[in-house]
Structure 1
Amino acid sequence: MMRIGRRNQRGVGLLVVMWACTLLAILLGGYAALARTEGLQANYQFQQAQAHYAAEAGLMRAVYALQSPNVNDRWIADGRVYPMLFDQAKVGVSITSESGKVDLNSATPDVLTNLFRNVGVDPGHASAIAQAIIDWRSFSLTPQQTTQRKAAYAAAGRDYAPRSGPFASVEELQMVLGVTPEMYAKVAPYVTIWSGRSSPDPNTAPLIALASAPGMDLQHAAAIIAARPANAGANAAPGLVANNGITHSIRSEAILADGTRAVLRTTVRLQGFRPGAQAFAVLRWQEGDEE
């Protein structure tokens, strides 16, 4: 009987040891999986940070290139892409002068209408949107105008009325009656609130914006863009040479060897290189491609 009892005790002890070993193995496996996950997260964050700083380097390079002491080395702000390498990252930088875009606060009704037509909106709807933009940015002259504008937005299910004043941001365009998210996504790269021009500057305007100018179409605009100089140089438009105080949108995309990608978009106002002064002021800063 004593031998049987001892055998039972040894069996129970062996079972306990086996369960303990199994539990330890599970704990070690879980710890290893957690350590691997944390390692992957740390590596991802490091790669993202590396791509981010490479994209920032592209932005800084663009700011300098717009104001380079050597005019022939200056980059043209018409949306063309300038490639560069930074710390083994491939960086593509494009600059668009805000004067080459359609100003929501200053553009004529025809320019606004053409802009929406150029992105595929039918003529009647494009004209209606242009008028809605004019109404949004214009002060109401009479109480009747104010009431009519409010009524139009209320009828469309909006719980707000037009600003009756200048656009405070490009994003505000999304609130204008008739502008759908799809339309906004198409026109957002070509509109601004910082140029003060009634029509885009033909020297730097990208295709869609240039084709919105009076007397212009997509074919004519494409021909003008194709004829632009390869660099700023002596034969470029004066606006490309005298950059101090001019406002630009810069897009910088960095891609690492493993495919990690970072995109930075900013709008800056150049202030020139002066001792003790910042070379530029940031008006808008966005990360990623979404508006």
Structure 2
Amino acid sequence: MKGREVMTASLDRFLGGFSNHGAVLVYVLWILAALSFLALQAAAFSRTRALETRWAWEELQRREAVHSWVRLTVFSEAKVAVLPLGRWVPCRLGELRFWVRRDEERSKTPVNQSDVLRVRRTVERAAGPGVEPAFVDRVVDALMDWRDPDDALRPFGAERADYERLGLPPPTNGPFSGLCEVRMVLGVSPELFWGHPLEEALRQWTQRSAEGAVTAEVEAAGWRVGLAESLSAVSGNAARLTFLFPRGERGYDIEVVVFSPTEGSWRLLDRCRGHVTLERREPPGLEVEASAGRPALTGVAGRGHKILFGAVRT
């Protein structure tokens, strides 16, 4: 009993004479709450800084990967053997794993010079088989309305009033300044614009022949080629590299770089970046039977990253 009195007296002296035990409890709880808040703030700050550092490091690695492949394409004669035209190749640079593909820009549909019929064929291919003609009409007319010099509305198109009603930037009524500007056109969804490049890459990789060539089945399997792969906003002779970088478990970043060689260097002509989210679905045309050296592609969208890592190791 005497010891308890001594402890009580000591606590009263420490708290400056508090005699109300309820007040002491409230005081202590406030201190604990303040300390917990400060601890959470510090943890959140540390986590944010860690994420920022990781993203900055990944961005630096990607930039170096892009520059390395551009230099290889411009200055090296080995590019044909290392990176054949129109073929997705799995690569690794340090801890960074990615896909890369090389194309000639002249093989694309020039979005600023093509007539309506050529643009329509390109949109039909990007939309895929079975698409409603009315959908193609809307996208084609909206593309033509964007680049023509007037505000006259085509039958299925979209002009300034349609964009302003939706709070979107209006058409420029001039040539497309870059590939990414096509994404701003009404009716051009992310799926229509980007297509399914990862599925195409996996198809090419898993169905290649023993000699490393791509089989005829793969050549005929380009069932969904997005507008980003089909169109070009650059005129003249230029090269294109397309990169796919894994980002988390459910998606990947895509970057398109268009450039031309100059004396002792290269000049950037166009650049477009975006993100594609992987959906857990079974894409049409991927129900390939498994065989020796040719695994089935069931659930390929959900296994994209694992297949990429395995392809790089091989």
**Please, what TM-score do these two structures have when normalized by structure 2?**
0.53
Identity of aligned residues (%): 14
Q: Is 1:85 paired with 2:75?
A: no
**SS of structure 2 residue aligned to 1:105:** coil
Q: Work out which of the residue numbers 96, 106, 109 in structure 1 matches 2:113.
A: 106
**What amino acid maps onto 1:268 in structure 2?**
V
Q: Is the 8 A contact 1:67 1:74 kept in 2?
A: no
Q: Work out which of the residue numbers 237, 244, 253 in structure 1 matches 2:245.
A: 253
Please tell me the root mean square deviation across aligned C-alpha atoms, in Å: 4.7
Distance 1:107 1:221 in 2: 28
5+ residue gaps, structure 2, are 1-7, 197-203, 205-215, 223-235, 278-314
5+ residue gaps, structure 1, are 1-6, 141-145, 191-206, 208-218, 226-243
Q: Is 1:269 paired with 2:234?
A: no
Task: Sort the Cα spacing of 1:150 and 1:174 in 2 relative to 1 into closer, same or farther, 3 A.
Answer: farther
- Alignment: residue pair count: 226
Q: Is the 8 A contact 1:113 1:130 kept in 2?
A: yes
Task: Sort the Cα spacing of 1:111 and 1:187 in 2 relative to 1 into closer, same or farther, 3 A.
Answer: farther
Shift of 1:99: 2.4
Distance 1:280 1:66 in 2: 13
Q: Is the 8 A contact 1:66 1:76 kept in 2?
A: no
Q: Is the 8 A contact 2:179 2:270 kept in 1?
A: no
**What amino acid maps onto 1:167 in structure 2?**
F
Task: Sort the Cα spacing of 1:252 and 1:272 in 2 relative to 1 into closer, same or farther, 3 A.
Answer: farther
Distance 2:37 2:82 in 1: 56
Q: Work out which of the residue numbers 170, 176, 180 in structure 2 matches 1:167.
A: 176
Q: Work out which of the residue numbers 20, 23, 30 in structure 2 matches 1:23.
A: 30
Which structure has more relative contact order (CA 8 Å, sep 6+)? It is 1
Q: Is 1:48 paired with 2:55?
A: yes
**SS of structure 1 residue aligned to 2:114:** coil
**What amino acid maps onto 2:175 in structure 1?**
P
Task: Sort the Cα spacing of 1:260 and 1:56 in 2 relative to 1 into closer, same or farther, 3 A.
Answer: farther
Q: Work out which of the residue numbers 13, 24, 44 in structure 2 matches 1:37.
A: 44
Q: Work out which of the residue numbers 251, 262, 271 in structure 2 matches 1:284.
A: 271
Q: Is the 8 A contact 1:79 1:95 kept in 2?
A: yes
Distance 1:20 1:131 in 2: 70
Residues 180-191 of structure 1: pairs in structure 2 closer than 5 A? 180-182=187-189, 185-187=191-193
Distance 2:221 2:274 in 1: 32
**Please, what TM-score do these two structures have when normalized by structure 1?**
0.56
Q: Is the 8 A contact 1:135 1:162 kept in 2?
A: yes
Distance 2:266 2:121 in 1: 36
Q: Is the 8 A contact 1:51 1:254 kept in 2?
A: no
Mean CA deviation greater in 90-99 or 43-52 = 90-99
1:235-274 CA-partner distances (Å, limit 9, x unpaired): xxxxxxxxx962314324156xx86987352423132561
1:59-82 CA-partner distances (Å, limit 9, x unpaired): 122212312423355423425133
**What amino acid maps onto 2:70 in structure 1?**
V
Distance 1:139 1:32 in 2: 59
Task: Sort the Cα spacing of 1:31 and 1:181 in 2 relative to 1 into closer, same or farther, 3 A.
Answer: same
Q: Is the 8 A contact 1:62 1:250 kept in 2?
A: no
